[in-house]
């Protein structure tokens, strides 16, 4: 008795589809990545980035500067390998990079060849520009959403009503 084996091979023609992935809706309006984009659009980038060192295969200098500033604002100091990983995994970094994935070597070349100032100096300059142009209230600075007085200890904000009441007694 002869057994026949079925041929399940499917011969299909595949068409390449051109998907344009945009993270415009995924990043909220009050996210720090949008603030970095807004501030870098207002300033003269030529003070910070030398565009003469960019090769034909290099990434956009403005995009790389935005990624560096976002990483510095988000994490403090970030290594080039961490930056490359964030460009592959974090939606905010993909939003700025327009779904490009620069390697850690691209970040190193950009920092070494194209940046005129250090990232810290650029970040402080951007903060000065934001302080001058944007209406930011510097009387109350909140890092994590809580509002404390400038001379507060850890219990002043919590026990204030109670201490005022006991002083009156």
The answer to whether residue 148 sits within a structural domain is no
The answer to whether residue 54 sits within a structural domain is yes
The answer to whether residue 27 sits within a structural domain is no
The answer to whether residue 15 sits within a structural domain is no
The answer to whether residue 116 sits within a structural domain is yes
Confidence class for position 83, pLDDT limits 50, 70, 90 = very high
Length of the chain: 169
pLDDT at residue 108 greater than cutoff 60? yes
Provide the percentage of residues in the chain whose pLDDT is more than 70. 69
Between 2 and 27, name the one with better pLDDT. Answer: 27
Query: For residues 28 and 91, is the Cβ–Cβ distance under 8 A?
Result: no
| Domain range enclosing 111 | 32-133
Q: What is the number of domains present in the chain? A: 1
Between 27 and 51, name the one with better pLDDT. Answer: 27
The answer to whether residue 112 sits within a structural domain is yes
Q: In the numeric block, which tokens belong to residue 152?
A: 């507060």
The answer to whether residue 10 sits within a structural domain is no
Residue 102 has a pLDDT of: 92
Nearest to 102 by CA among 60, 72, 140: 60
Instruction: Give me the sign of the Cα torsion angle 147, 153, 159, 161.
Output: negative
pLDDT at residue 41 greater than cutoff 70? yes
The answer to whether residue 13 sits within a structural domain is no
Cα angle 90, 134, 64 (rounded to 5 degrees) comes to 35
pLDDT at residue 155 greater than cutoff 90? no
Please provide residue 60's backbone torsions phi and psi, each rounded to the nearest 5 degrees.
Answer: -65, 130
Cα–Cα distance, 74 to 92 (Å, whole number): 11
pLDDT at residue 8 greater than cutoff 80? no
């Amino acid at each position: 008795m002869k057994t026949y084996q079925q041929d399940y091979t499917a011969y299909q023609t595949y068409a390449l589809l051109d998907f344009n992935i945009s993270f415009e809706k995924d990043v909220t309006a009050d996210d720090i990545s949008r603030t970095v984009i807004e501030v870098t659009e207002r300033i003269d980038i030529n003070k910070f980035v030398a565009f003469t060192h960019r090769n034909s295969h290099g990434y956009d200098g403005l995009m790389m500067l935005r990624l560096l500033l976002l990483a510095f604002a988000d994490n403090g100091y970030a290594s080039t390998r961490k930056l490359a990983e964030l460009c592959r995994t974090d939606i905010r970094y993909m939003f700025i990079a327009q779904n490009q994935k620069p390697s850690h070597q691209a970040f190193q070349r950009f920092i070494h060849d194209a940046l005129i100032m250090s990232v810290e100096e650029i970040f402080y300059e951007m903060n000065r520009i934001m302080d001058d142009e944007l209406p930011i209230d510097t009387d109350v600075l909140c890092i994590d959403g809580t509002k404390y007085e400038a001379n507060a200890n850890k219990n002043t904000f919590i026990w204030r009503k109670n201490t005022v009441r006991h002083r009156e007694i």
